[in-house]
Amino acid sequence: MSTQLVEVLITQPFPDEAMEQLRAVSPRLRFTVLPRSRAEDIPNEVWQRTEILYTDQVFPAPEQAPNLRWLQVSYAGVENLLDAPIMHKEGVVLTTLSGANAPQMAEYILTMLLALGHRLPLIASLQAKAEWPKDRWERLRPAELRGSTVGLVGYGSVARETARVLQPFNVTILASKRDVMHPQDSGYIPEGLGDPEGDLFDRLYPIEALRSLVKECDFVVLTLPLTDDTRGIINAEVFAAMKPTAYLVDASRGGVVDHAALVTALQERRIAGAALDVFHQEPLPKDDPLWKLPNVIITPHIAGISARYKERAAAMFAENLRRYLAGSSLLNRINLEHGY
């Protein structure tokens, strides 16, 4: 067994308990923790010896890090990082933290499904006006989640955890993913969560059959990555295929939804409403019409925020560290051709 030290550079601080968890993986790991926001603030001698890099987007030039073998990005979405030269250096394995944010994002999605179905935007506006409507039985009749059909577009770690938390509601789950021949989850799965075997959905659709999926749904949930193939994939044709009583929850990436088509669909009541956490432009401009639509819930890209995120990130990083030292395949490897 090798006893050679493996140099690990971390540019984002972990809590003390999380660092203890990482150090406990192996005495072969030597950690350097330098919370920095710019690559030039990392000493050259540190870059020179680094074999494993955990960072958000503090990247060295390829020639600065001759010993780099593995780059672990500290979040799931990487579309803005793929042009960095270090991402294309031969011999460097790239991984994400996909799965570490699944629990809080699934809770967000569940919250929005219930909020939309139970007319919370309208209820909040009535409260602001101190209005007790006489026709409340009709105006505020909920679209119940129980027994409904929910479409999960992009069946990755977040959608799989969403499918799990939806089980008590007796919903019909329609899922969509790029590779329908492999429904199992090959990424990081926190113990007891998600859908590892791919058996919690009722039907699985290829992404090319998106309109066939959405026309059956009472709720459509987006958790797609942003790639050349998915940019603007939720367009006017998709909205036209949805039921006018259906709701959209977008917790994916800004740009997956055609913004103009979304605004039109909501303004003209082609769909019943939407909960939106991501946008084509962030922050969402103050003059954007989405702000004033009564059938919309807007949140400022916070679905993945959790006080426990670094704890979950450390657990996932620790698992990959064990795999690296054992010479096993790392979880959540980035496929540059797919863009995620």
Position 340 in a domain: no
Distance of alpha carbon 11 from alpha carbon 72, whole angstroms = 11
Position 1 in a domain: no
Position 32 in a domain: yes
Name the average pLDDT for the chain. Answer: 95
- Same domain, yes or no: 163 and 245: yes
The model's pLDDT over 28-66, given as tens digits with 9 standing for 90+, comes to 999 999 999 999 999 999 999 999 999 998 999 999 999
- Tell how strand 296-298 and strand 273-276 pair up: parallel
Active site residue 118: no
Per the structure, the complete domain to which residue 90 belongs is given by: 6-100+307-326
Residue with tokens 């969402």: 284
- Same domain, yes or no: 160 and 78: no
- What CATH number is attached to the domain comprising 112? 3.40.50.720
Active site residue 182: no
Distance of alpha carbon 101 from alpha carbon 175, whole angstroms = 20
Position 90 in a domain: yes
If pLDDT is split at 50, 70 and 90, which confidence band does 297 have?
A: very high
Distance of alpha carbon 139 from alpha carbon 141, whole angstroms = 6
- Same domain, yes or no: 111 and 70: no
Strand order in the sheet with 6-10: 29-33, 6-10, 52-55, 70-73, 93-95
Residue 316 in contact with residue 188, Cβ under 8 Å? yes
Position 338 in a domain: no
Position 258 in a domain: yes
Whole-Å CA distances, 101 to 68, 82, 194, 321, 329: 26, 21, 12, 19, 21
- Same domain, yes or no: 152 and 275: yes
- Same domain, yes or no: 152 and 247: yes
Tell whether pTM > 0.85. Answer: yes
Of the listed 160, 164, 178, 253, which one is catalytic? 253
Position 337 in a domain: no
* Rounded (5°) CA angle 93-94-95: 125
Range list of β-strands (E), 74-156:
93-95, 149-153
- Same domain, yes or no: 157 and 188: yes
- Same domain, yes or no: 77 and 110: no
Amino acid 1: pLDDT? 53
125, 157, 121: which is closest to 142 by C-alpha?
121
- Tell how strand 52-55 and strand 247-250 pair up: unpaired
Distance of alpha carbon 322 from alpha carbon 330, whole angstroms = 9
- Same domain, yes or no: 96 and 106: no
Active site residue 301: yes
The model's pLDDT over 63-115, given as tens digits with 9 standing for 90+, comes to 999 999 999 999 888 888 888 999 999 999 999 999 999 999 999 999 999 99
Amino acid 189: pLDDT? 86
- Same domain, yes or no: 74 and 170: no
Of the listed 301, 311, 323, 333, which one is catalytic? 301
Q: How many domains does the chain have?
A: 2
Please give the distance of CA 294 from its chain centroid, rounded to a whole number: 26
- Same domain, yes or no: 176 and 116: yes
User: CB within 8 A of 102, min separation 6: which ones?
Assistant: 157, 158, 160, 161, 190, 193, 194
Average pLDDT over residues 302-326: 95
- Same domain, yes or no: 30 and 175: no
Distance of alpha carbon 314 from alpha carbon 30, whole angstroms = 16
- Same domain, yes or no: 313 and 174: no
How is residue 249 written in tokens?
């929850």
Of the listed 139, 282, 308, 338, which one is catalytic? 282
Average pLDDT over residues 123-142: 95
79, 80, 56, 63: which is closest to 71 by C-alpha?
56
